Amino acid sequence: MPVPFLDLKAQYLPLQGEIQDAIAAVIDQTAFAGGPFVAKFEAQFAEFCRCRQAIGVGNGTDALWLSLVALGVGPGDEVITVPNTFIATAEAITYCGATPVFVDIDETTHTLDPAKIEAAITEKTRAIIPVHLFGQCADMDQIIPVAREHNLAVIEDACQAHGATYKGRTAGTMGDAGCFSFYPGKNLGAYGEAGAVITDDDNLAGKMRMLRDHGQAKKYYHAMVGWNMRMDGIQGAILSVKLRHLTEWNELRRAHAADYTRLLSTVDEVITPCTAPDNTHIYHIYAIRVKQRDQLMAFLADRGISCNIHYPVPIHLQDAYRSLNMGPGSFPVAEKCASEYLSLPMYPELNSAQINEVAGAIRDFYA
């Protein structure tokens, strides 16, 4: 039985009428760049996240960069983050003129190891970006006190954590700002590029709103040098439709993850994802850890099962960051996990037959 890694059409078809009506409304009002449909989504997303402000932007990378700039990070500064994330986390730091400083991860949760932060802080450190990887929040109650002690900003990379919670708090609401991507494959995905920043700081939100729109305090009056990173009206309208279903979709992902974990529990060669205490994991990615990964991936492909790897090369070993002079062994836990990750098909519309097909094939391989 073929099982795709992702099936966006399966999600679109039940919503087709609502989506088409939303797009038509934007066209009727010619509200294409920012405007009322973006503002409506911003209010809805802020309410969903239980925070005061949401600022719609062009994509998740914009969200990270905008947060750093608004919080005053610039040339010569350092920002602490993890090496096992999508490169956009580091790119946003670099494009501010700052330097990414990596800290290794906890092997159980695959998120920033709080015990290793202090050793990475220097007089140049200005911020910490914990990454809520795969849909699970980092250990924020351990990270934030370290940041506050050293007067560092905390920017949550929640680009994979739409609706995840930590001790009852929504991802993105625990630091100074939280950043989201609405890339089409995310738990809440647009039909193109879009992103958002959330914050409880009204002054910071006001600054971000100007920065995302060429620094305009009002049209053609520029209070600061900004950039063009507005969200499209069509994306705002689509996201408003899809946001109504996000909680249900996340619960389906959690149910699918529980089925995978149960079906693979007898396979000693497979390490299934772990949910940390007090966390609600929303499984943007269901990444197992295995030996013989490439052979297993090929075996699954022969059976029509599509998988992926997030992320095969940690950022400090990428050619783009060769200038940091960090070779293999610099962050052993992140490097070990990167060599073992295998992401299985995960989306709300998966059915039990597909999940059984994937798990059965993995059992067959190791048998």
Number of independent structural domains in the chain: 2
Q: Is the pLDDT at 279 greater than 90, yes or no?
A: yes
88 and 216 co-located in one domain = yes
CA 162 from centroid of its chain's CA atoms: 8
**Together in a domain, 212 and 281:** no
Among 213, 228, 243, where does a domain finish? Answer: 243
23/136 same-domain check: yes
pLDDT (tens digit per residue) in 210-266: 999 999 988 999 999 999 999 999 999 999 999 999 999 999 999 999 999 999 999
Q: State the Cα–Cα distance between residues 225 and 210, nearest whole angstrom.
A: 9
What CATH number has the domain bearing residue 55?
3.40.640.10
CB 73 within 8 A of CB 153: yes
> What digits encode the pLDDT tens for the residues 60-106?
999 999 999 999 999 999 999 999 999 999 999 999 999 999 999 99
Give domain status of residue 204, yes or no.
yes
Q: How far is CA 203 from CA 29, 155, 207, 268, 359, in A?
A: 30, 16, 6, 52, 49
Instruction: Note whether residue 267 is domain-resident.
Output: yes
Domain-located, residue 3: no
**Global pTM?**
0.97
For residue 86, give its domain range.
Answer: 8-243
Q: Looking up tokens 């002054």, which residue turns up?
A: 203
Q: 289-302: per-residue pLDDT in tens?
A: 999 999 999 999 99
Domain boundary among 208, 243, 278: 243
pLDDT surpassing 90 at residue 3: yes
* In contact, 339 and 345? CB cutoff 8 Å: no
Q: Mark which of 194, 214, 243 sits at the end of a domain.
A: 243
What six digits make up the tokens of 95? 């494009």
Residue 2 lies in a domain: no
Q: Is 215 found in the same domain as 313? A: no
Asked if residue 169 and residue 44 are part of one domain, the reply reads: yes
